[in-house]
Amino acid sequence: MTQTIIWTVAILSVLGLLLALILFWVARKFKVEEDPRIDEVEKVMPGANCGGCGFAGCRAFADAAVKAPNLDNQYCPVGGDEVMQKVAAILGFTVAAKAPQVAVVRCNGSCEARPRTNEYDGAQSCRVKAALYSGDTGCAFGCLGCGDCVAACQFGALSMDPATGLPVVDEDKCTACGACAKACPKHIIELRLKGPRGMREFVSCVNKDKGPVAKKACANACIGCGLCAKTCTHEAITVTDNIAYIDFTKCKLCRECEAVCPTGAIHGVNFPKELDKEAVKKRIADRKAKAAEAAKAAAPVIPAAEAETNKKEDANG
Partner 1 sequence: MGKLTFSMGGVHPNDSKYARECAIEELPLPQTVYVSMAQHLGAPAKPLVAPGDKVLVGQVIAEPGGFISAFVHSPVSGTVKAVAPRKDLAGNPVMHVEIAVEGDEWDPAIDRSKELVTAIPDDKAAILDKIKACGVVGLGGATFPTHVKLSPPPGKVAECLILNGTECEPYLTSDHRIMIERPKEIVIGAAIMQKVLGCPCVIGIEENKPEAIASMRAAVAELGYPNMEVKVLKKRYPQGGEKQLIDAVMHRQVKSGGLPIDVGAVVQNVATSLAVYEAVQKNKPLITNVLTVTGNKIPGNLQHNYLFRIGVPLSFVVEQAGGVPDTAAKLISGGPMMGKAISNLDATTVKGSSSVLYLSDEDTRRKPETNCIRCGKCADACPMGLEPFLLNRLYKAGDLDALEANAAQDCIECGCCLYSCPACIPLLDHIRQAKGQVMGVIRARAAAAKAAAEAAKAAAEAKK
Provide the binding-site residues for partner 1, judged by CB under 8 A. Answer: 117-118, 121-123, 125, 127-128, 131-136, 138, 140, 209
Minimum Å gap between C-beta 177 and partner 1 is: 17
CB nearer partner 1, residue 131 or residue 297: 131
Helix (H) or strand (E) holding 172: none
Nearer to partner 1, 241 or 286 (CB): 241
Task: Tell me how far, at minimum, the Cβ of 68 lies from partner 1, in Å.
Answer: 24
Buried b (16+ CB within 10 A) or exposed e, 248-257: beebebbbbb
Closest CA to 143 of 156, 158, 155: 158
Q: Is the Cβ of residue 47 or residue 122 nearer to partner 1 in the bound state?
A: 122
With 0-12 / 13-18 / 19 or more C-beta atoms within 10 angstroms meaning exposed / middle / buried, residue 120 is: middle
Helix (H, G, I), strand (E, B) or coil at 69: coil
Residue type, 70: N
For 14-24, b where at least 16 C-beta lie within 10 A, e where not — what string? eeeeeeeeeee
CB nearer to partner 1: give 214 or 244.
Answer: 214
In the complex, least distance from residue 126 CB atom to partner 1, rounded to whole angstroms: 11
For residues 153 and 156, give the distance between their C-alpha atoms in angstroms, rounded to a whole number. Answer: 6
We find the least distance from the C-beta atom of residue 131 to partner 1, in angstroms, to be 6
Structural Rg of the chain based on CA atoms? 30
DSSP states of 175-196: ----HHHHH-TT--EEEEE--G
Tell me how far, at minimum, the Cβ of 196 lies from partner 1, in Å: 38
From residue 240, give the alpha-carbon distance in Å to each of 186, 206, 209, 262. Answer: 17, 11, 11, 18
Nearest to 110 by CA among 11, 217, 246: 217
Please say whether the beta carbons of 209 and 140 come within 8 A: yes
Least spacing, CB of residue 220 vs partner 1, in Å: 19
- Measured from the CB atom, the residue of 3 and 118 that comes closer to partner 1 is 118
Would you say 60 or 151 has its CB closer to partner 1?
151
Task: Write the single-letter amino acid at 171.
Answer: E
Nearest approach in angstroms of CB 121 to partner 1 is 5
Q: For residues 90 and 128, which CB has a smaller minimum distance to partner 1 in the complex?
A: 128
CB of 209 to partner 1, least distance (A): 8
Relative orientation angle of helices 80-91 and 36-44, to the nearest 10 degrees? 160
Minimum CB distance to partner 1 smaller for 49 or for 134: 134
